[in-house]
Structure 1
């Protein structure tokens, strides 16, 4: 009971919505002081720091992050990506292609993401430590964390209807793994670098 009590917060913060301007999508010739805000492209963030599922998410990240080394298309950072590209032996007729997914996080199906993470865990259960948790416990914790999808905006409360909330600690993990499965199925040679900035 003592260990379990560390997962709950008596006075949690309500996750809060804000958006980040995608500065890399701005026309460089536009004067920012005169820009029409309807032209701004933004990335929605639901800050879950201190929220009801934040501690559970933290534990899940600690338990499941070691699985990323088994995701063949995962790069830790841009340097890993550059190093991998430099070591590729690309045929003369091949070309590099870059894709930009629209609303990647919100288009991930939570149930499918949980299923793919559990499959990855099952395939590599001997190589990672779950610190006494069972795969069933991990599934329950994943469902609880991802179902905690309420947030506040302008002092009104909402629930995200689908997908992963960018800003929750655990969100990148199912996203990396799910995207890896999609990439492997559709491309014979694929690698993903998900920019979460």
Structure 2
């Protein structure tokens, strides 16, 4: 009995991986490219892979599942397990989600328009952006973001969490670049908990009275309800007040905001042969969504706590999960 100790045949060889790495290295500055390539080659040489231990019968079973077009094999939203759904039910769940009022249908793929917009902005700030960085931020030709869903097996009816795969999309590399600039602006609040160990450490210093009540709550679909106009203004104010910004980027605040606005307002995606876009908020899968949502929650929370009539003895938050006493 192998239980969960399966070792399947690896689909790609080290040669395939090396070719993919070379493609990435070619876009990096020469010195960094050589260093990165050397590290990857060293890692591959030291890697040890388990030998395949599946029987012929097991391999046939896996192959039959892989080619079965009537089912969809998915990892779950939370936890370490796999779910098999009927393909028709999977599509019905996503179509129900798309008809919820948070999305609108587009007449065609807007990818060419988005590519031109990104190129125009990068050209506008070409004197500030190094040539190699400008080349790196240019995702052209690109491909549309795609929608897929992860089953929430911990919820009644097993709804799907919508995830937008933005890899290779027009704003993908630009969003990653802006993420590094914005990172220090998030999580500045005294209420923010970095991890569970820090949370437990804080709880040890808390004394509760018999009349105290412990409450925990979270925000429903945080990413999709962040108002884009408001968060852009909040971030702009933060960047103007950030004395360390010049250490992270040579771009002026105006340039950062122009690039950020394109990324946040480009919310379109493809599902099957149709194109949609969010009416507001940000998509799960956009690398900017967690940090931008965190900045907005910091801002909203501060206003709420400062103006609250009744003060809590304890208020701690990790992203959209809050613990109050």
* TM-score of Structure 1 vs Structure 2, range by shorter chain: 0.7 to 0.9
* C-alpha contact 2:186 2:298 (8 A) present in aligned 1: no
Q: Which of residues 277, 288, 291 in structure 2 aligns to 1:170?
A: 288
For structure 1, the residue ranges without an aligned partner over 5 or more in a row are: 27-38
Q: Which of residues 53, 61, 70 in structure 1 aligns to 2:188?
A: 70
Deviation of residue 195 (structure 1)? 6.4
* C-alpha contact 1:105 1:163 (8 A) present in aligned 2: yes
* C-alpha contact 1:110 1:163 (8 A) present in aligned 2: yes
For structure 2, the residue ranges without an aligned partner over 5 or more in a row are: 1-125, 306-310
Q: What aligned pairs does 1:150-161 form with structure 2 within 5 A after superposition? A: 150-161=268-279
Deviation of residue 89 (structure 1)? 5.0
Distance 1:186 1:127, change over 3 A: same
| Aligned residue in 2 for 1:34 | none
| Aligned residue in 2 for 1:31 | none
Distance 1:84 1:129, change over 3 A: farther
* C-alpha contact 1:114 1:174 (8 A) present in aligned 2: no
* C-alpha contact 1:63 1:130 (8 A) present in aligned 2: yes
Q: TM-score, normalised by structure 2?
A: 0.51
Deviation of residue 61 (structure 1)? 0.9
* C-alpha contact 1:110 1:146 (8 A) present in aligned 2: yes
Q: TM-score, normalised by structure 1?
A: 0.81
Matched, 1:20 2:150: yes
* C-alpha contact 1:113 1:174 (8 A) present in aligned 2: yes
Matched, 1:135 2:260: no
Query: Is the strand fraction higher in 1 or 2?
Result: 2
| Aligned residue in 2 for 1:193 | 318
Deviation of residue 111 (structure 1)? 1.3
User: Using the alignment, how far apart are the partners of 2:299 and 2:159 within structure 1?
Assistant: 28
Higher relative contact order (CA 8 A, sep 6+): 1
RMSD in angstroms over aligned alpha carbons? 2.4
User: Using the alignment, how far apart are the partners of 1:161 and 1:67 within structure 2?
Assistant: 26
Q: What aligned pairs does 1:1-197 form with structure 2 within 5 A after superposition? A: 1=126, 2=131, 3-26=133-156, 39-89=157-207, 93-126=211-244, 129-187=247-305, 188=311, 190-194=315-319
* C-alpha contact 1:19 1:43 (8 A) present in aligned 2: yes
Distance 1:82 1:54, change over 3 A: farther
* C-alpha contact 2:187 2:298 (8 A) present in aligned 1: no
User: Using the alignment, how far apart are the partners of 1:128 and 1:74 within structure 2?
Assistant: 25
Deviation of residue 167 (structure 1)? 0.6
- Encode CA deviations 1:44-79: one digit per residue, 9 max, x unaligned: 111112211111110111111122252333333333
Residue correspondences, number: 184
Distance 1:91 1:177, change over 3 A: farther
| Aligned residue in 1 for 2:34 | none
Distance 1:170 1:23, change over 3 A: same
